[in-house]
Amino acid sequence: MTKMMIGAAQIGGIQKAETREEVVARMIALMDEAAAKGVKFLAYPEMTLTTFFPRFYVEDRAEFDHWFEKEMPNAAVQPLFDKAKEYGMGFTFGYCELTPEGQHFNTSIIVSPEGEIMLKYRKTHLPGHAEFEEERSHQHLEKRYFLPGDTGFNVVRSQGVIMGMSICNDRRWPESWRVMGLQGVQLVSIGYNTPSQNNLSADEGLAKRLYHHELSVCAGAYQNSTYAMAVAKCGTEDGNHMIGGSIIVDPDGFVIAKAEGEGDELLVAEADFDKCAFGKSTVFNFAAHRRTEHYGRIVSQTGVEEPSE
Ligand code: CDT
């Protein structure tokens, strides 16, 4: 089977007071709609279960441990796992993970239609800062609340498709895509929470943020000849706005489904995974065309080193 209906379940704002159970009920409503449309794999956003709390500062980060999941699945999300199994649907979603060793990660998982966690990914590129920055109009404290992920960009064959994940800021980094491309990825799922304002350059504007999001996902999909689903948590959360613009993209880099609003919304598309083969065997035939002897800087150097005057 190379064809599959895939779905992106965009979620509107989740307020601070909203419970996991309330959110899971919203997720299941979208899953019901997806099942009725024949979807076999459904993607939800980054940090699907909670508000995007890195916009808030607390001195003692342990006060925010209640936003994290100590087990997966747990009682609150079990109904989602059960419903997916009933429908024979695979899915992916993001959540905040607190490990038994006390480590905090921004995590996502791929779950098989049988309810087995097939792959876990921990966000690599954490944007923002670790301390309160007075001069900022909006805080973005991911570096305070999460460790950089330790999983790397692995893929898994699930439902006959080679699947991988990125989380939000990762989609802007070609390195994330290429590591999965080198493993033959056919479907990349990316959840995101992108504030429409989170730094001092307030004039950047919504349209530019939406453009940069779409540009990154379309380029990543095309350059690695893979389907991609980028799924927002968006709209207004606790008085803060986040961009919508969820998309499903084909291996040619074309958007084949796009969200219309900023609330809970399902996008569906038929993916024909055979279409990944063309790019992978021609212009992006890595074995034939890559020149790794010239890529050393990519792994040996982190920041820019300009030539001397
Ligand atoms: N959640 C997350 O990673 N958000 C960042 C905000 C960066 S500001 C443009 C993102 O890359 O969307």
Residues 6 or more apart whose CB falls under 8 angstroms from that of 168 comprise 46, 123, 127, 190, 191, 192, 193, 194
The pLDDT of residue 158 is 98
pTM metric for this prediction: 0.97
Alpha-carbon distances of 271 from 37, 203, 268, rounded to whole Å: 14, 37, 9
Distance 127 CA to ligand 1 centre (A): 6
**Among 71, 97, 64, 82, CA closest to 27:** 82
The pLDDT of residue 200 is 62
Nearest ligand 1 atom to alpha carbon 199: 8
The pLDDT of residue 203 is 66
Residues 6 or more apart whose CB falls under 8 angstroms from that of 209 comprise 194, 196, 243
Is-contact 92 110, C-beta < 8 A?
yes
- Token pair in block for residue 250: 């084909």
Between strands 247-249 and 104-111, the pairing is unpaired
Whether the CB of 192 sits within 6 Å of ligand 1: yes
Q: Which of 51, 133, 168, 211 to mutate to test the pocket of ligand 1 (most atoms within 8 A of CB)?
A: 168
The pLDDT of residue 114 is 98
Q: Which amino acid, 248?
A: I
Q: List, as one string, the DSSP characters of 46-105.
A: TTTTS--GGGS--SSGGGGGGGSBSSSS-TTTHHHHHHHHHHT-EEEEEEEEE-TTS-EE
The pLDDT of residue 202 is 58
Is-contact 227 221, C-beta < 8 A?
yes
Q: For the chain, 309 residues long, give each residue's pLDDT as a single digit of tens.
A: 589 999 999 999 999 999 999 999 999 999 999 999 999 999 999 999 999 999 999 999 999 999 999 999 999 999 999 999 999 999 999 999 999 999 999 999 999 999 999 999 999 999 999 999 998 888 999 999 999 999 999 999 999 999 999 999 999 999 999 999 999 999 999 999 999 987 765 567 899 999 999 999 999 999 999 999 999 999 999 999 999 999 999 999 999 999 999 999 999 999 999 999 999 999 999 999 999 999 999 999 999 999 999
Between strands 265-272 and 3-12, the pairing is antiparallel
Query: Three-state SS for 219?
Result: helix
Ligand 1, atom 3, residue with closest C-alpha: 169
Between strands 90-98 and 187-192, the pairing is unpaired
> Of the residues 123, 233, 275, 280, which is catalytic?
123
Whether the CB of 193 sits within 6 Å of ligand 1: yes
CA angle 106, 143, 190 (to 5 degrees): 35
At the fourth CATH level, which superfamily is domain 3-300? Carbon-nitrogen hydrolase (3.60.110.10)
The pLDDT of residue 263 is 98
Cα of 136 vs its chain's centroid, Å: 25
Radius of gyration of the chain (CA): 19
Whether the CB of 106 sits within 6 Å of ligand 1: no
pLDDT digit string, tens, across residues 203-239: 678 999 999 999 999 999 999 999 999 999 999 999 9
Whether the CB of 216 sits within 6 Å of ligand 1: no
